[in-house]
Amino acid sequence: MRDIILDRDGVINLDSDAYVKSVDEWIAIDSSIQAISQLHQAGYRVFVATNQSGIGRGFFSLQTLEAMHYKMCHLVNEAGGLISDIAYCPHTPEDNCTCRKPKAGLLKMLAEDHQIDLTQAIVIGDSLRDLQAADQVGATGLLVLTGKGQKTRQQNPTLPYPIFETLYDATKNILS
């Protein structure tokens, strides 16, 4: 498995029930940037697949989302890492699109654009919908307890996925 697909909010950056709506509100989780850098330096391709219904709800613009992603990628690059691509769903749940997780559209888009064998990929998320999307394409799902991860574990006590405190802890396990 040489491809890693990360959820964004709650995995790479602090999540907010009020949405992350600006570049200033986009705050990296301690050690997540370092984790991405370590994965890249170990030969993994790192991708991001993120639901961003705040666009569809009118909380922030596509331009603001792109500025947040620029900040994220810049921090990763400064740390010696690389995010190969970012796929996002701008839709609300009511739009019933094919890309919004738990559907696998974002993962399939990344796979098509970058020749990813999803059955050999690792998907790391903090919510059940991230893991359900991974299951649909035969990817290996890992849960992190940052973001909504604690709540996800409490609501689903018998989850069949490896669970890690943080992306950094998951990375240490992947690289060991």
> pLDDT tens, 39-82?
999 999 999 999 999 999 999 999 999 999 999 999 999 999 99
pLDDT score at 128: 98
Q: Clarify whether 17 is annotated catalytic.
A: no
User: Domains of the chain (ranges plus CATH)?
Assistant: 1-124 (3.40.50.1000)
Tell me the percentage of the chain whose pLDDT exceeds 70.
99
Q: Clarify whether 9 is annotated catalytic.
A: yes
pLDDT score at 24: 98
pLDDT score at 100: 98
How far is it, in rounded angstroms, from Cα 130 to Cα 112? 19
10, amino acid identity: G
For residue range 129-168, list pLDDT tens digits in order: 999 999 999 999 999 999 999 999 999 999 999 999 999 9
pLDDT score at 1: 59
Collapse the DSSP code of 163 into the 3-class scheme (helix H, G, I; strand E, B; otherwise coil) and give the result: strand
Of 7, 15, 126, 130, the catalytic one is: 7
**Predicted TM-score of the model (pTM):** 0.97
